[in-house]
Amino acid sequence: MTAGWPSALWLVRHGESVGNAAAADAWRRGAEVVGVAPRDADVDLTARGRIQAEAMGRWLATLDDDRRPEVAVVSPYLRARHTLGIALDGLPGAVPVRVDERLRDRELGVLDRLTVRGIEARHPEEAAARRRQGKFYHRPAGGESWTDVLLRLRSALADLRADHAGQRVLVVAHDVVVVLFRYLLEGLDEAQVLEMSRRAAPLNCGVTYYEHEGGGLVLRNYNLAVDGEGRSEEAGA
């Protein structure tokens, strides 16, 4: 018995997205705006992101039958759904999939598609509020704070426990979701979760893995990087 917990839980950030690539390019150029046309929910994977998802599927396929995911839960955003679909294509047998909107990425409101330079130039009041309130609590106009995301993740975690107790569950979502699941599952505080995110932010298709032990889930790996051959190496702690 797992006392209301999944027997195993994988938390995976989606593969590299068009938005990730555009944000990196904007940072290199010192631009104010990230050049992405679709709305955030419709941002897809890059070619590299699809390769990452394929590698993750090959890695999952190397696990023994009784160690592979039995069910998957995914963010509704396209980049997450495509990552999961590509990865599951490499597995023998069908894995049931449930889409959960509570796993979506953080909503940035007026700061959407702006770099740090863009925020300072176009919304200096928001930049000042973030400095005053801190990253954890600052809620941009029309957007969410990290604590807002936590409210929906607490609900999602309760349903994971109720619906998938004793099962091996794969979750594919976004970097902030992975980080804040760690906050919930490990009882971290504000300083700890911010330092962990700063020091070792979730990689694209990086794997965070928990196993049930005692009265809860115990972290076994964080940010496991899967290469093109389906091999893995822990990239952050």
Q: Which residue has the tokens 């995110």?
A: 197
Listed residue (187, 111, 199) closest to 154, CA to CA: 187
pTM metric for this prediction: 0.94
Q: Which residues pair with 218 in a beta bridge?
A: 211
Listed residue (232, 167, 184) closest to 205, CA to CA: 232
* pLDDT reading at 8 higher than 90: yes
* Mean pLDDT to the nearest integer, 11-25: 98
Where would I find the beta strands (DSSP E) of the chain? 8-13, 71-74, 97-99, 168-173, 207-213, 216-226, 232-234
Q: Is residue 129 part of a domain?
A: yes
Do residues 115 and 34 touch, judged by C-beta distance below 8 A? yes
Q: What share of the chain in percent tops pLDDT 90? A: 91
* Mean pLDDT to the nearest integer, 17-31: 97
Six token digits for residue 78 = 């396209």
Q: Is residue 36 part of a domain?
A: yes
Q: Is residue 142 part of a domain?
A: yes
* pLDDT reading at 228 higher than 60: no
Q: At what angle do helices 146-163 and 175-186 cross, to 10 degrees?
A: 70
Task: Give me the number of domains the chain comprises.
Answer: 1
Q: Is residue 205 part of a domain?
A: yes
Q: Is residue 41 part of a domain?
A: yes
Q: Give me the pLDDT at residue 97, please.
A: 98
Distance between CA atoms of 188 and 36, rounded to whole angstroms? 34
Residue 234 banded pLDDT, cuts 50, 70, 90: low
Residue range(s) defining the domain that contains residue 47: 8-234
Check which CATH number belongs to the domain holding 56 and give it: 3.40.50.1240
Distance between CA atoms of 82 and 204, rounded to whole angstroms? 13
Mean pLDDT (the chain, rounded) = 94
Q: What is the pLDDT of residues 29-67, one digit of tens each?
A: 999 999 999 999 999 999 999 999 999 999 999 999 999
Element (H, E) at 179: helix 175-186
Q: Is residue 1 part of a domain?
A: no
Q: Is residue 3 part of a domain?
A: no
